Structure 1
Amino acid sequence: MAPPPSAPAHLKSIKIAIIGAGSVGTTTAYALLLSGLASDIVLIDIDKRRAEGEAMDMSHAAHFAQAKVRAGETYADCAGAAAVIITAGVNQKPGQTRMDLVKTNYALFRDVVPQVAAAAPDTILIVATNPVDVLTHAAHKFSGFPVERVIGSGTAMDTTRFRHELGRHYGVNPRNVHAAIIGEHGDSQLPVWSLATIAGMRLRDYCAQGGIEYDEAAMDACARRTRQAAYEIIQRKGKTNYGVASVLVSILEPIITNGDALVTVSRVGTFAGVEDVALSMPCKLNREGAHQLKVPLLLSKEEEEGLRKSALSIKEVIESV
């Protein structure tokens, strides 16, 4: 395999730190290594020997990439990072909901986030640990960063899964399906049916134009499989890692390249009348972080009510910790 072309000049000094050398953290580091988006990837874990071993292993793939992978000694090694990705925490087990993890991982964030913020006061925090919405709110609180610089991976993964399900149903590439999951990265997530399109046409119109029956039950099944995907994967292999790692790199890309991409990520704000809560809506991502759209998402009345219910369910957990 020939090595890829040299990274563009503006990427040659990009440093990314990843907290947590578990399956998500290491898969993210590997995906980032091969992406060419960063020149310096630092993997930090409480188990330093594991982080060292993972970095050593990945360094043997660096021949095919333009980056250096190394293990950090302490959180001080986050200094100068354009972004710090937090994947550390207790993993979801079969039968658990993401919300079941909240107390243990909240305590971890209370310890870790202030140290990261002190070492890298200008970085952008990207949270992948579950329950991601509650912990995005915690990271904002414990870091003192502006809301746009604390981003949860949120429903970016769910949106990808949703487009996959719709693409498979309609027989088109998921890249040509424009549809979003908003709200909680969890059981109260909300598919935005009113704005879902293929070839610029809303789904009912697409079906009518093509002489295809619009199957409400099939659409509900697509949404259900999207919502239950992580549970199904965890039951079979005990974890999820490849999909979320790819999504984390896709979140990083417009931040590093100042791309102004629209991505459904979690951040703190007011949603459907619920204040000071973190959940996912389409945001514009660039080197300054995640920005709420100036044009509000045009939701149906039922979707607005669903979003409020999702926000309230997250808010209840935030207030309980």
Structure 2
Amino acid sequence: MSPQQNNNPNKIAIIGAGGVGATTAYALMIKGIGSEIVLIDINKQKAEGEAMDLNHGSSFVNPVKVYAGDYSDCKDAKIIIITAGAKQKPNESRLDLVAKNVEIFKEMIPQITEYNDNCILLVVSNPVDILTYITLKLSGFPKERVFGSGTVLDSSRFRSLLSESCNIAANNVHGYIIGEHGDSKVAAWSLTNIAGTSLDDYCPVCEETCTRDSQEQIAKQVKDAAYKIIERKGSTFYAIALATSKIVRSILRDENSVLTVSTLLQGEYGVEDICLSLPTVLNSSGIDRVLTLNLEPEERDAFVKSAETLQEVSKNLNL
């Protein structure tokens, strides 16, 4: 590794200029997050084309430098966002991507850390929990500086669906999806509230007709969301780009925001040595702390089962 360097606090590198990477750059640009964005892709022409297209809108946003580069351009980035990898196909689960993307990451991570060993690594590629774990092991970085987008998007989907069901603005709905960003994700209903009121107290006075079956249906819709989008349009990128921009803003602006990013667990709810999502405080240092909030017994059991699913996969990674 190179000697530790001082990073540009407003520089962001994005590895992968496909749908997610390019849309993330766009989201960062229009939100005024970061003053320098470099796109790095094995297809250099694609990265150059995306950078040109973004730059042509520079008169409409805050000053920002967007350009295509290579791994050496990671050298002083504060945050490196990894979106590269094989994408999920129809009828393919996120875990089906493991073998393909593990090999890509084994080649990619050393090339990043060769030029920057003092940055924050944010993994967005799927399966994000496994690839975050791999990135942590391959980089040798402390766990505070390696995490994944996790269930930040799932939690937003959850809030959006509850918003529709309850006819309340999504920003007044608070709730989390925890565990895997995948089929074993868990809706933490016990932590969900509207305007500071638990669902158990809110539902009886709600003018809508929510039932326990409605809640189960919402949880299923969250679980199936990506599959339905991929079936209809081939891939997902708008919402995950917005979720990623929220994570990046929380870091660059030292917000101490609580987001369900995927991070290495060290005993939370009895889970060890796997990356999963729990409400986590993010600031300019990366992970500040993971919150272990009171879950209902069935939620805790489902979370542990989610962890066991991923631990079984991680045993065969051969790192």
Task: Say whether 1:315 aligns with 2:311.
Answer: yes
Distance in structure 1 (CA, Å) of the matches to 2:9 and 2:214: 48
Question: Displacement, 1:214?
Answer: 4.5
Instruction: Could you tell me which runs of 5 or more consecutive residues in structure 1 were left unpaired when the two chains were aligned.
Output: 1-11
Question: Displacement, 1:291?
Answer: 2.8
Task: Say whether 1:266 aligns with 2:262.
Answer: yes
Matching residue of 1:122: 118
**After alignment, is 279-288 or 111-120 more displaced?**
111-120
User: Following superposition, which runs of at least 4 residues in structure 1 exceed 4 angstroms of deviation?
Assistant: 211-214
Matching residue of 2:174: 178
Residues 40 and 217 from structure 1, CA distance in 2 versus in 1: closer, same or farther, beyond 3 angstroms?
Answer: same
Q: How does 1:1-321 map to 2 (within 5 A)?
A: 14-65=10-61, 66-72=63-69, 74-210=70-206, 214-270=210-266, 271-293=268-290, 296-321=292-317
Residue type of the alignment partner of 2:256: D
Residue type of the alignment partner of 2:175: A
Matching residue of 1:8: none
Question: Displacement, 1:148?
Answer: 1.0
Matching residue of 2:5: none
Residue type of the alignment partner of 1:250: K
TM score, norm. by length of structure 1: 0.93
Would the aligned equivalents of 2:165 and 2:210 in 1 still touch at CA under 8 Å? no
Question: Displacement, 1:279?
Answer: 0.4
The CA deviation string for residues 58-78 of structure 1, in whole angstroms up to 9 with x for no partner, is 110112121011000x21110
Distance in structure 1 (CA, Å) of the matches to 2:11 and 2:146: 17
Would the aligned equivalents of 2:9 and 2:252 in 1 still touch at CA under 8 Å? no
Residue type of the alignment partner of 1:137: Y
Question: Displacement, 1:13?
Answer: 5.8
Residues 242 and 211 from structure 1, CA distance in 2 versus in 1: closer, same or farther, beyond 3 angstroms?
Answer: closer
Would the aligned equivalents of 1:266 and 1:279 in 2 still touch at CA under 8 Å? yes
Would the aligned equivalents of 1:13 and 1:40 in 2 still touch at CA under 8 Å? no
Percent identity for Structure 1 against Structure 2: 46
Residue type of the alignment partner of 2:100: T
Question: Displacement, 1:93?
Answer: 0.3
User: How well do the aligned residues superpose, as a CA RMSD in angstroms?
Assistant: 1.3
Would the aligned equivalents of 2:11 and 2:76 in 1 still touch at CA under 8 Å? yes
Would the aligned equivalents of 1:155 and 1:266 in 2 still touch at CA under 8 Å? yes
Matching residue of 1:3: none
Residue type of the alignment partner of 2:196: G
Report SS of the residue matched to 2:122: strand
Report SS of the residue matched to 1:306: helix
Residues 81 and 27 from structure 1, CA distance in 2 versus in 1: closer, same or farther, beyond 3 angstroms?
Answer: same
Distance in structure 2 (CA, Å) of the matches to 1:56 and 1:85: 20
Question: Displacement, 1:303?
Answer: 0.9
Distance in structure 1 (CA, Å) of the matches to 2:117 and 2:58: 29
TM score, norm. by length of structure 2: 0.94
Question: Displacement, 1:257?
Answer: 0.6
Instruction: Could you tell me which runs of 5 or more consecutive residues in structure 2 were left unpaired when the two chains were aligned.
Output: 1-7
Count of residue pairs brought into register by the alignment: 308
Question: Displacement, 1:118?
Answer: 2.1
Report SS of the residue matched to 1:85: strand
